[in-house]
Amino acid sequence: MKEAQAAGWREIGTLGKVHNLIVHIRASEARWNEFKTLAGRSIPLDNDTRWNSWCAVLEAIKGEKVRTAIDAYCRSWYKEVKDDCLSPEDWNIIDEMYAFLKPFYEVTMMNQGDFSSIDQTLYTMDILIKHYERSKVSFLVAIEALLIGDFIGSISPKSTSPYCHHYKLVYLR
């Protein structure tokens, strides 16, 4: 069952791999202590009830010392975590995800408590909507660039792939 759960988490991509690594580290006191020695700190585990927990996880692993510790941990436990080891592309995704989530975390912290007002909440919601829209455009531009690069290289006049056909029609007009 544990492997099926790990595979399920892995399907969501980089964040799933991060989740699986943290679960593996925390599954044994010896591994937990080994990682804390390497990283100089522990990593919080994301959870279902605190949506900002992902921001806390990503913030914890962004530091160079923790990144190095995660890479060393993956080498040390490779047979068990090989499907969840983080690539340079995964680290880029982590940086981008953190940059996206950080304003949501900050707004949540700013708007909690007894002194928060509806005026402040509406103002910060407007800021988040603008942040989301800018991020969405950046994401779409990046995805388009990746798709063009991947498919332009694979397009040939004899290609039967529906994707190649689509990109020939759209991008090569």
- Mention every residue, 6+ apart, whose C-beta is less than 8 A from residue 170: none
Confidence of residue 146 (pLDDT cuts 50, 70, 90): low
The dihedral of CA 91, 97, 102, 108: what is its sign? negative
> What whole-number percentage of the chain has pLDDT above 90?
61
Domain spans, the chain: 1-110, 115-173
Indicate whether 156 pLDDT > 70.
Answer: no
**d(Cα 39, Cα 35) in Å, to the nearest integer?**
6
pLDDT of residue 136: 87
With 0.85 as the threshold, say if the pTM is over it. Answer: no
Over range 60-86, report the average pLDDT. 96
- 3-state SS, one letter per residue, for the chain: CHHHHHHHHHCCCHHHHHHHHHHHHHCCHHHHHHHHHHHCCCCCCCCCCCCCHHHHHHHHHHCHHHHHHHHHHHHHCHHHHHHHCCCHHHHHHHHHHHHHHHHHHHHHHHCCCCCCCHHHHHHHHHHHHHHHHHHHHHHHHHHHHHHHHHHHHHCCCCCCCHHHHHHHHHHCC
